[in-house]
Structure 1
Amino acid sequence: MSREDWDDIKYVLAVAETGTVSAAARRLGVNHATVLRRIAQYEEAAGAPLFEKTPKGYALAPDRLRLIEAMREVDRSVQSVQRMVAGVRAPVSGDVRVTSTDSLCQMVLPSVVARIALRAPELLVTLVSSNAHLDLGRIHADITIRPTMILPDDLVGTEVGRLRFAAYRATGSDADGWLGLAGQLSRSTAGRWLAGEMGAAAAGPGADSFLTLREMAALGLGIAILPDYLGRGDARLEPVEGALPDLQIPVWVACHPDLAEVPRIALMRQYLVEEMKADAGAIFD
């Protein structure tokens, strides 16, 4: 297999996984024509078509499923090699991309990063705020600070505390309807509880961000389920006692296993764990 064939694999996989040339082009950051050309190039080299064009997009020929799975194995191996090479080259100093939820990025991590900057000015932190789980395998970020019950198999990390949830509404309000949890929040521990509690009933207005839900609750739009540190101490809000069971979720500082021993990432993980545990009383209790 030539170098060009190896490079073509990512185009084949993108079409196989998204189902359309347009979606594959968006994922890869190239134009529509480039994807078509690379797919045609690979099919010509392979001597057989890989896809069947249908009204809904590109369908994988049934007898090509094993070939696509083999390509996925190649892609995973190439990504692993790239991460290890990056680790060998990486100095202890440099930029470290840390991703976390919007609420942690805005309310917790700036002060944590400020203290780390005093300890290790040679390490530069870039905070990537996203409620979606970024792909650390493809180096979209180096470290994730993630609230989740169990870390997925492709991450290693340290639990730094357990995030508690509470129900809040506007101070002095008699609001009794729940604000909805949308997007990634609908799949969180709080979101699953709310879905079970509401049953077939529809929740009221909602949002995909706890920060936004806090502002909506403060305006009297309903009861919001919030990480307790977001509502506690906000004079605009009052807790709704007994509205929730004891909902807790672990918070992890984690990275991809291939990056765990990279010096700058290992050091930053250590500092993040230490500083977040130092803030445990404000964040987790």
Structure 2
Amino acid sequence: MPDVFSADDLRLVRAISTAGTLTGAARALKVDHSTAFRRLCAIEARLDAKLFERARQGYTPTQAGEMAIAAGTRILAELVDLERRLAGEDLRPSGIVRLTTTDTLIDVIAPVLAALRTEHPGIIVELIAANTFFTLTRREADIALRPAIAAPEGLAGRRLATVSTAPYASAAYLARCGKKPLRDYDWLGFEDSLGHLRSARWVSANVPDERIVLRANSLLALRSAAAAGLGVAALPCYLADPAAELRRVTTPLPDMEGSLWLLTHPDLRKVARIRTVLDFMADALLRQRGLIEGKRSRPRRG
């Protein structure tokens, strides 16, 4: 009997189960609907078994489908684990390293990556700027640089610095409004997608709703709005201190602070190119600890 399943077939079956629709599965796998449909029909023809019941509401696994989904999930996890372990045998400090970080840290790490390129030209960094946490265990990225309270379970992490956050506003706004209690300023708030941030929780707990004059789902947008004079924004010091238009309204607030973590999967730490990037980034970012911890600031009024 010829092989019934390829890894791509297993990924298709799993994607249909996860999405509940063929359209959703095709979108997740970045193929068109007709391709996904033909592949599913071919799999079922080879098996002589139906894997999903089709209905207007979506695709429901049959008993055979449930068996295929369970086995496929296990096999795909084993393939990822094998890939990770084999990657650990690669001792060459060259090749591609996938690095993910938040958009707010791009200005901080760009000079680091330039220096890395000079010292290790054989390493090519694929930089993924995303505020969602890529899953390192699935090899969506090799290294993550993230502000967080703690390192996620199952990852090897190095804490580089405290991430200090303070209220910022433009010099013109502060001159116009004068000194007053924090809650009495116009505030730039956080859209719900940023509600997990400690700074967002602080604003929610300490600033009346009627003082919020704008909300955004991006810290870069909040920085721009504050620089334009709309009001006060809670921003990481590494993001706001380099902005010439901004001034701290107060010193950094302990209730807003977090930590900066450099993370990878334990199986990848011995890969030469990944170990090289981890060590290089850690050394370079530790030299910028003053900026990250808010110890390089200008006076409140300029």
TM norm. shorter chain > 0.5: yes
Task: Give the greater-gyration-radius structure (CA).
Answer: 2
Give the aligned partner of residue 91 of structure 1. Answer: 92
1:137 maps to amino acid: T
1:224 is aligned to 2:225: no
- Match for 2:273 among 219, 243, 264? 264
1:208 maps to amino acid: N
1:169 maps to amino acid: A
**Deviations 1:193-238 (CA, angstroms, capped at 9, x unpaired):** 3344468779442333222210111112232111012222533222
User: What is the 5 A alignment of 1:157-168?
Assistant: 157-168=157-168
**Deviations 1:47-103 (CA, angstroms, capped at 9, x unpaired):** 543333343322345896565344322211111112333443562122322211111
The CA distance in 2 between the partners of 1:138 and 1:157, in whole Å, is 17
Change (3 A) 1:67 1:251: same
2:160 maps to amino acid: V
Give the aligned partner of residue 180 of structure 2. Answer: none
RMSD: 2.9
The CA distance in 2 between the partners of 1:48 and 1:197, in whole Å, is 60
Q: How many residues align?
A: 284
Q: Secondary structure at the match of 2:195?
A: helix
**Is the 1:131–1:184 Cα contact (8 Å) retained in structure 2?**
no
**Is the 1:43–1:49 Cα contact (8 Å) retained in structure 2?**
yes
Deviates more, 1:249-258 or 1:83-92: 83-92
- Percent identical pairs in the alignment equals 32
Q: Secondary structure at the match of 2:247?
A: strand
Give the aligned partner of residue 136 of structure 1. Answer: 136
Normalised TM-score (structure 2)? 0.81
**Is the 1:171–1:235 Cα contact (8 Å) retained in structure 2?**
no
Q: Offset at 1:28?
A: 1.0
**Is the 2:97–2:125 Cα contact (8 Å) retained in structure 1?**
yes
Q: Which sections of structure 2, spanning at least 5 residues, go unmatched?
A: 178-183, 295-302
The CA distance in 1 between the partners of 2:63 and 2:210, in whole Å, is 42
Give the aligned partner of residue 181 of structure 2. Answer: none
1:37 is aligned to 2:38: yes
1:250 maps to amino acid: S
Give the aligned partner of residue 182 of structure 1. Answer: 191
Q: Offset at 1:188?
A: 2.5
1:111 is aligned to 2:111: yes
Give the aligned partner of residue 148 of structure 1. Answer: 148
1:280 is aligned to 2:281: no
Normalised TM-score (structure 1)? 0.85
Give the aligned partner of residue 171 of structure 1. Answer: 171
